[in-house]
Structure 1
Amino acid sequence: MQAKTRASLGAGEVKLGAGARTYGSYIDGKNIAEDQWVYVVDAAALLDDAFSSLTLKRKLEKGYVPARELPPSIVGRVAKAGPQTVQLALEAAAEAAPEWGATPLDVRLDRMCALLHRRIAERADEIEEILVQEGHPRVLARWQVSGMLECWGPESVGFYHAQLHQEFRHGAREISVRRRPDGVVCLNPPQNAPMASALLGVHAIFAGNALVVRAPRSGPLGVMYALQELVAPVLAEVGAPPGTLGVVCGDPGPMLNAWLASPLVDDIMYFGSSEAGIRFQERCVAAAKKPILELAGNDVVTVWKDADVELAAEALTEGFFGSGQLCMIPNQVLVHPDVADRLLEELIRQTRRIRPGHPGDEGVLLTPVLRNEKFFSCLDEALLHGAELVCGGHAMRVDGTRDGAGIFLEPTVVLVRGLTDARRMTAVRHETFFPLLPVIVAEPDDDERLLKRFIGFVNSNGYGLRNSLWACDRTVIDRFVDRVTEGGLLKVNDSHIGFLPYLPSHGGTGLTGGVFGEANYPTLRTTHVQGVSVAPAGIRPRDAVFGTGRRSA
């Protein structure tokens, strides 16, 4: 669907500028206009003049703007779905699910993934630009695109296929263990990474489910673009029923309530805070829906005494990417006392490279933090409990100048001496979601006891998204890998946030994934195991019961 066609959809009296995108609700393979629209403002314009940009957005959404050409700062609009449209999306998905679930795996997984991987590669620059328009720094936009490509590369697809279907021969029987789709899966992506999270949900389609996605009002453009222009054409090419994918934009409360109340919905993928997610899990269970939770992370990076300090510090700076407003970044550092001073020195040096700016500028890694009072409250509490400020601790403007009214925050490191009382601090105990990194230096002790304490500290974290270790001693590495049981992902001597084939990008235990939490392979989480035995020529039942299994005469 070309931009010109998109811009003509239900244009009414408002004329969008060249290159702006318009998306209706996507139901049963059709683009449906609505009476209400959500307008999307370019993130750079918001930084330059937030008041004027937001005023124009509000006037547009209330219908107060007369017919005229809109400024380039309005980069798109998305239809806001009403209750009837939300219901139509569920009905179309329920109609499509049985047929799509019966489609051969090599079509809905292997072929579809290959086509989607090629489409994303071909449109990588366009995807990057839309992410930048929504406020993602260009470097992080490229990181997200790399994750999309890695998740659908041939190595990962081969792994998914092997997990979804295995075949065996047992005498005259053909035995298979396979995962069958749950049916209709609904996805509620987060505000901080809606496009990438919506595409994560597409894995449920590969598993044979129909998928309905809510595009968040705060960032609907990337979700609509990715699903309508990347995924929908691929579904059509492989012959999927039109209702296999539905996309609607709306407020989370009413839409989640509609999903919970609908007998057509089987699974709900929910992204949000741990507190809200655990409550939502209870509502799902009460409504007989499978909850698949992607909640907060509070990841621990452990640095042993023989670690490559320079590389470890580089990985730790990932904790400041996106101003800490990403769930899968380092949130706290546990360091051996022998190497603590060198690590802090190197971390301070590398942190100076992390800077604010417009999202489209090369090298920018910080994003605005709109409610920074929580940052200062958390920092003050840590200092009150004995933490020491190592660097940062101020608000600043887009150009990096310190300003108490600035909407950017300096990357901030605090030193916490000792494991014993570290979790008294909110900055250690909970995910903070801003650029504040506690470095916890363990009390000096015998290495054997220290390693045991380190492993115990990591396993006792209430959250469990991902953890990582920096060490050279293979004995230490093996013991850490064998005994760290919490979390959906564990990495050693590597980027904490980098994507790899085979491994999950999301998922975790505890407050990260709820009581059903684990590594999140959506193809597995939205399916259930079924065992199948086929005896083409027939088996005498009496023989089968008594274990001979001979072929009938």
Structure 2
Amino acid sequence: MTREVPAAVIAGVPVDGRHWIGGERVASGETFTDISPIDGSVIGEIARGTAEEAAAAVAAAKAAFPGWAATPRPERARILHAIAGGVEKRLEELAVVETTDNGALLRSHRRGVMPRVAHNFRFFADWLLKLEHEDFETRGHTNHVSWDPAGPCVLITPWNAPLMLATWKVAPALAAGNTVVLKPAEWSPLTASLLADIAAEAGLPAGVLNVVQGYGPEIGDALTSHPDVRRIGFTGSVATARRIAASAAANLTPMSLELGGKSPLLVFADADLDLAVDLAVEQYDNAGQVCLAATRVLVEETVAEEFTRRFVGRVSRLKQGDPRDEATDIGPVIHPCQLEKIDGFVQRALAAGARAVIGGHPEQGQYYAPTLLTGVAQTSEIVQEEVFGPVVTLQTFTGEEEAVRLANDTRFGLAATVATGDPERAGRVTAQLVAGTVWVNCFFVRDLRAPFGGSRRSGMGREGGTWSFDFYCDVKNTVTAPNGWKAHG
């Protein structure tokens, strides 16, 4: 028996809380409550999917796959551009809904995040049309490389940048000719539902994109263990990735995993200190709920005192509050459970001897004060484990060798940032850092042509540009003999 799910209405924008399967809205027997982190208010009830909805979504994706895979590249690209146009048309609505749902800054959604969502579709639509590999010969035989659609893909995406990170996967998967079952995080499901509406309005055939909501153990496991699923893309925690890998193992389903980070920011004495401070303050973006965040600030000993003084001055001027206010710099943490987790990390660090130079405590509601901890040991939990909140540690070093050793001394390897005024030093240091992305005197500059992913426990595989098509396709090499066209008889 299904349960009625009235649409959530946010600033006049209705959002359907039911699943989107095979081009239709589908309810479930149960729902879960979606709550805004801004003030704890109830946004609406969301269909709580089970193995039944998982099976239906995969079946719809499987049925739609032959037709979509056979759709000529220019037509697939046209529809992806139409989806991008729909995103741009509804940009303000998407921004308001996502801010209400996950608490990130409205100004960031308007100016950066939602435009990037549209760009994700436009970029992969255009890349599809120029995707090719030059033919080459082997003893007179011609080798031709092609990218064949793999089949239904399950994409499981996180709550910290819901629509942008979802479309980072959805766009190349669709461009490649695959069909998709998207499961957004249960803490921020709303813009995925709006994406289903936009895609349908753009002319995407029924079943090519399906959206299902729910909890990992109830629907996620059923999706990742399904034998008809040909690819799994996941962004989230290491613990969840282990569960997905175990679930997918029986079918040997290929996975692309973008996981946690504990990234370093290395500040050398020859760096522009004001720039270095700006880079460090950026790590509080989205209340520190960014996998790429350089939460371990490593500063050369001779400038550490001055760096800390300037950093504290800058952070003290940040405004924390309602993310819908254009003047706000730091919004709330996504959920009470996440707030409790963040504070647990901080309080254990303080009990172990760390010092809170600033912050170190929750604020009213679901807000956590931007925090800087010093006096932390390299082996301590606060240095080694991902907090995923507005918490930064500061350690010092005396030279390049020690800086690199400290930077690489975690189980992660997602990103790293280097601040230095010496190009030669930058080259030496970046060559030794274990990270999927390294920024020098900048942060969070991402081009979709570049490979993106993590090393060590920060992930598996790379996406972006042709790397995305390599993952979402079966790459095939066809070898043709010379003069082999003579008909028999």
Q: Decide which of 88, 94, 114 is 1:121's aligned counterpart.
A: 88
**In the alignment, which residue of structure 2 is the partner of 1:321?**
285
Is it true that 1:409 corresponds to 2:368 in the alignment? yes
Structure-2 separation of matches of 1:374 and 1:78: 25
Displacement of 1:152 in angstroms is: 4.3
**In the alignment, which residue of structure 1 is the partner of 2:447?**
500
* Alpha-carbon spacing, 1:39–1:89, altered in 2? closer, same or farther (3 Å): same
**In the alignment, which residue of structure 1 is the partner of 2:194?**
225
Q: Decide which of 255, 262, 270 is 1:291's aligned counterpart.
A: 255
Structure-2 separation of matches of 1:530 and 1:86: 30
* Alpha-carbon spacing, 1:13–1:247, altered in 2? closer, same or farther (3 Å): closer
Structure-1 separation of matches of 2:486 and 2:268: 63
Could you say what secondary structure the match of 1:334 adopts?
A: strand
Structure-2 separation of matches of 1:208 and 1:258: 23
Does the 8 A contact of 1:319 with 1:329 survive in 2?
yes
Structure-1 separation of matches of 2:165 and 2:414: 15
* Alpha-carbon spacing, 1:41–1:283, altered in 2? closer, same or farther (3 Å): closer
**In the alignment, which residue of structure 2 is the partner of 1:337?**
301
Does the 8 A contact of 2:6 with 2:45 survive in 1?
no
* Alpha-carbon spacing, 1:184–1:351, altered in 2? closer, same or farther (3 Å): same
Structure-2 separation of matches of 1:15 and 1:223: 14
Does the 8 A contact of 1:266 with 1:290 survive in 2?
yes
Could you say what secondary structure the match of 2:147 adopts?
A: strand
Displacement of 1:257 in angstroms is: 2.5
**In the alignment, which residue of structure 1 is the partner of 2:431?**
482
Q: RMSD over aligned Cα, in angstroms?
A: 3.2
Gaps of 5+ in 1: 1-9, 55-73, 398-405, 445-449, 542-551
Q: Give aligned-pair identity as a percent.
A: 24
* Alpha-carbon spacing, 1:157–1:100, altered in 2? closer, same or farther (3 Å): closer
**In the alignment, which residue of structure 1 is the partner of 2:133?**
166
Amino acid at match of 2:133: Q
Does the 8 A contact of 1:307 with 1:472 survive in 2?
yes
Displacement of 1:31 in angstroms is: 2.7
Could you say what secondary structure the match of 2:211 adopts?
A: strand
Larger Rg: 1
**In the alignment, which residue of structure 1 is the partner of 2:404?**
455
Does the 8 A contact of 1:43 with 1:132 survive in 2?
no
Report matched runs for 1:258-407 at 5 Å.
258-364=222-328, 365-368=330-333, 370-371=336-337, 372-397=339-364, 406-407=365-366
Residues 117-146 of structure 1: CA distance to partner in whole angstroms, max 9, x if unpaired? 333333222211111221222134233224
Could you say what secondary structure the match of 1:362 adopts?
A: coil
Displacement of 1:191 in angstroms is: 3.1
**In the alignment, which residue of structure 2 is the partner of 1:22?**
16
Does the 8 A contact of 1:101 with 1:209 survive in 2?
yes
Is it true that 1:86 corresponds to 2:54 in the alignment? yes
Structure-2 separation of matches of 1:277 and 1:258: 15
**In the alignment, which residue of structure 1 is the partner of 2:146?**
178
Could you say what secondary structure the match of 1:86 adopts?
A: helix
Q: Decide which of 254, 257, 272 is 2:221's aligned counterpart.
A: 257
Greater shift in the superposed pair: 260-269 or 327-336? 260-269
Does the 8 A contact of 1:22 with 1:77 survive in 2?
no
Structure-2 separation of matches of 1:384 and 1:42: 32
Could you say what secondary structure the match of 2:255 adopts?
A: strand
Residues 52-110 of structure 1: CA distance to partner in whole angstroms, max 9, x if unpaired? x45xxxxxxxxxxxxxxxxxxx4x554444543321211121122233233333443x4
Q: Decide which of 425, 434, 440 is 2:380's aligned counterpart.
A: 425
Structure-2 separation of matches of 1:79 and 1:386: 46
Structure-2 separation of matches of 1:272 and 1:107: 33
Could you say what secondary structure the match of 2:357 adopts?
A: strand
Amino acid at match of 2:361: H
Displacement of 1:438 in angstroms is: 0.6
The count of residues paired between Structure 1 and Structure 2 equals 476
Displacement of 1:411 in angstroms is: 0.7
Structure-2 separation of matches of 1:259 and 1:320: 34
